[in-house]
Amino acid sequence: MGATRLGLGSFWGLFLVCALICLLALLVFFIRVCWQYSKYSNSEAAGEPSAADADAAAAAADAAERQRRPSRLGSFKELIQFVDKEEEVRRTMKRRSSEKDNQTAGSSDVQSVVSA
């Protein structure tokens, strides 16, 4: 009769599988966030057109502040801020990619009209 009772020890394999899957999902999430952050920060550093000269002045002041503090600390803080506003960034990146697609489609339309 004691053999038919199940205890927590009977499910150690299930707990192990669940833990590994959760850790894998967490690792994939962090890799995705870091990839998106690097893509976003590279597009910002590439000098995409800014809205106003005030943005340029603020960026220069921010760059000067980054030089005074350790770059690793600044980049970790920026990563945390990026995660906080990730949804806004996703919309911005989608808009940029759709604008690039529209520009590409527009240039191909112009080429087809010119060749006709």
* Residue 69 DSSP label: S
What average pLDDT does range 90-106 have in this prediction? 82
pTM score, whole prediction: 0.47
Span 4-36, pLDDT tens digits: 788 878 899 999 999 999 999 999 999 998 888
| Whether pLDDT at 109 is above 70 | no
At 111, is the pLDDT very low, low, confident or very high (cuts 50, 70, 90)?
low
What pLDDT, on the 0 to 100 scale, is given for residue 94?
Answer: 85
DSSP the chain: -GGG---GGGGHHHHHHHHHHHHHHHHHHHHHHHHHHHHHHHHHHTTPPPS-HHHHHHHHHHHHHHHHS-HHHHHHHHHHHHHHTHHHHHHHHHHHHHHHHHHHHHHHHHHHHHH-
